[in-house]
Every structure is written in structure tokens, then in C-alpha cells.
Amino acid sequence: MSDETFDLHLFENLFREEKGNDDSVIVGGYRLCTLVEDNDGRTVLRGLGVGHDYTWMPGWNWATCGMGKKHRPAARRCSCGLYACSDLPALLRTVGAGSDQVVLVGVIGTGELDIAEHGWRAETARIVAISSQLIGRLLKDGSGNVFRITHRTVLDNETLAALGRMYQVPVVGLDELEAIIGRYIPQEEISGNR
């Protein structure tokens, strides 16, 4: 198990702050998932926190409305959709990352979108990277602002490699996760937010 630190600026927002349902808009974010076994005996990722009962499948995942409403998922007057957090410290404050069976993943979403202050809901989303590291601690200054995140390696390399193969995505260090997500987002959407 390794314990390292890095600058928090690596996890700046990756999404356009405009609301809309332009199917060409792609947003990026993070999810904490736990390892579960599916009906076929495979180890898969299931989201933690808001939208926690969703098992992520390889490739594009499509949301449905669990309320039985007839609309595209991620509609503003409903809670349906695939959730992600664009603000990693906010995600950790809400959910935490204490379990050894928790995996941090990078995701992108598109289709009908509902973008909020710290994240988004999307009609469709997919995992684009799996972090080989989890958050250890958030280090705060005297004002309580997070300035550094420590991380730790928890899952064994064999499990991580198997997850990477299953989801057909790279397994990367925590400090590389934002760059992988950013590869999927058109530059004009990122530059408008910095």
C-alpha cells in the first residue's frame, strides 16, 4: 500500500456550466463504486451514494426513469439519470472513501443533461478510466479549505487489471484521472470553464 500526496488543482471542473439537452455536449466527472458480483459471477462496479443502486456495465450505460414517467432520463423535474460528481472533494465529503472495496472511476456523460453545482445527471454515461488509487485523506488549511489530497493503493494489481479489461478502459493513478476524462471532452467546453 503506498501513500502519496498531490495538488488538488488536478481536479478542476471538467464540465460546461450551461444547462441544456444538446446531445453533442459531453461532461466529465467522478464516481465512487464498490465491487459486487453480478448474476454471472463476474465482479462489476456498482455506484455508491446518489444513484447507488446502479451497476455500471462496460461501454455506454443508458438511464431509465424508475418513477415510470414518460420522459428522457435526467429530466429536470425528476431524479432519474446516471449521476457523477465534477468536484472530487465534494464527492468525498458526501460519500467518503473508507472501504477497501471502493473504486474511484472517471466517467463521461451526454444526452439529456442536468448540470448542478458539484456534478450532473445524464441520460447516458460510461466509465472511461479506473483509478488504481483511493483517497486517503483531505488535507485542509487553517480556513478549512482543502489544499492537498493524500491517496493510497488498496486493490491488488490483478483485480485492477481485470476491471480494466472488463470495462475496456485504462487503469491509471489518481493524478492521471482528470487527463483521461479530458480526452473525451471537446476543448472548447473545457476552456470555457477555466
Give residue-wise pLDDT tens across range 17-32.
334 445 578 999 999 8
59 contact partners, CB below 8 Å, separation of at least 6:
126, 168
* Alpha carbon distance 59, 166 (integer Å): 10
Give the residue-averaged pLDDT of 27-47. 90
Measured CA to CA, the distance from residue 166 to residue 179 in angstroms comes to 21
Average pLDDT of the residues of the chain = 77
- 8-17, pLDDT tens digit by residue? 333 333 333 3
DSSP state of 177: H
Is it the case that residue 103 has pLDDT exceeding 80?
yes
Output the pTM of the full model.
Answer: 0.76
Q: Where are the alpha helices (DSSP H) in 138-184?
A: 157-167, 177-182
CB atoms within 10 A of CB 42: 10
What's the confidence (pLDDT) of residue 34? 87
% pLDDT > 70, the chain: 72
Closest CA to 106 of 52, 179, 6: 179
Mapping DSSP to helix (H, G, I), strand (E, B) and coil, where does residue 99 land? coil
Highest mean pLDDT among 151-160, 161-170, 180-189: 161-170
Q: Say which residue the cell 432520463 belongs to.
A: 73
Is the pLDDT at 152 greater than 80? The verdict is: no
Amino acid 93: pLDDT:
65
Query: What pLDDT shows up at residue 79?
Result: 80
Per-residue pLDDT at 102: 81
Could you give the angle at the alpha carbon of 113 between the alpha carbons of 59 and 138, nearest 5°? 80
Cell match 441520460: residue?
123
> Quick one: pLDDT at residue 22?
53
Pair type for strands 171-172 and 119-131:
parallel
Q: Has residue 161 got a pLDDT over 80? A: yes
- Which helix (H) or strand (E) segment holds residue 175: the answer is none
Which residues lie below 8 Å from residue 170, measured CB to CB, with a gap of 6+? 129, 130, 164, 180
Q: Give the per-residue pLDDT at 185.
A: 85
Residue partners of 73: CB distance under 8 A and separation at least 6: 62, 63, 64, 65, 80, 81, 82, 111, 112, 121, 122, 123
